[in-house]
Amino acid sequence: MPAPAIDLTTRAHQWLEPVLAPGGTALDATCGNGHDTLFLARAVAPGGTVHAFDLQAAAIERSRRRLDAAATGTAIQWYQRDHAGLADVLESIRLDAAMFNLGWLPRSDSNIITTPASTTAALAAAVALLRPGARLTVICYRGHAGGAREAAAVRAWLETARIRLLAREPDQPAPGAPVLYAIEPL
């Protein structure tokens, strides 16, 4: 019997839980439907702040509805813009955690995707904003058009960035399967 599939989103949350606390500050660089945004908001409540980015208005609206319904009491700062520009608006912010869930917005136009150049710029900017001991997770979905190229760019970035790789899951991903990286700044 094959091993059960790894829920990479749950694993990403588990990697970030130890560095999140009430009053903290977190980044969801690709808020999509708001699942990670909600996780981060609950983890830094009360008194915390989550900065949530997405290029698409539909993603911001879906995420906002999810967070409003959950009533976490956490301050959410919404940014409808490419995550590559996060350093422009967060330049003085220090983050306890950051999440990247790459690809496209489910139940939306699958031609609107994150891209290698935008994502690697955003990763570099996010790492520069991390406090000592903070963590960042990135899930690369390699099975869609452009996904394998973006995942290769993330992998290449990881090899040259000033970070410590905490985990790669699964250790030996099947071709086209998603992969999770958990990192911390040096």
Instruction: State the CATH number of the domain containing residue 170.
Output: 3.40.50.150
| More reliable by pLDDT, 106 or 21 | 21
Residue 118 domain-assigned (yes or no)? yes
Query: Does residue 2 sit within a domain?
Result: no
Whether 22 is covered by a domain: the verdict is no
Task: Select from 173, 174, 10, 21 the least CA-distant residue to 99.
Answer: 10
Lowest mean pLDDT among 4-8, 9-13, 66-70, 129-133: 4-8
User: Is 81 within a domain?
Assistant: yes
Number of domains into which the chain is organized? 1
Give the per-residue pLDDT at 34.
94
pLDDT at 143: 75
The mean per-residue pLDDT over the stretch 125-142 comes to: 96
Indicate the average pLDDT of the chain.
Answer: 91
Domain assignment present for residue 6? The answer is no
Range from 44-58, 142-156, 169-183 that averages highest in pLDDT: 44-58
Does a structural domain hold residue 20? no
Domain residue limits at 99: 28-40+52-185
pLDDT above 90: percentage of residues in the chain: 78
Give residue 4's pLDDT: 45
| Mean pLDDT score, 5-15 | 89
Position 17 in a domain: no
Asked if the model's pLDDT at residue 112 lies above 70, the reply is: no
Average pLDDT over residues 133-160: 92
Q: Is residue 45 part of a domain?
A: no
Strands lying side by side in the sheet with 75-80? 75-80, 49-54, 25-28, 95-101, 130-140, 179-185, 163-169
DSSP 119-156: HHHHHHHHHHHEEEEEEEEEEE--SSTTHHHHHHHHHH
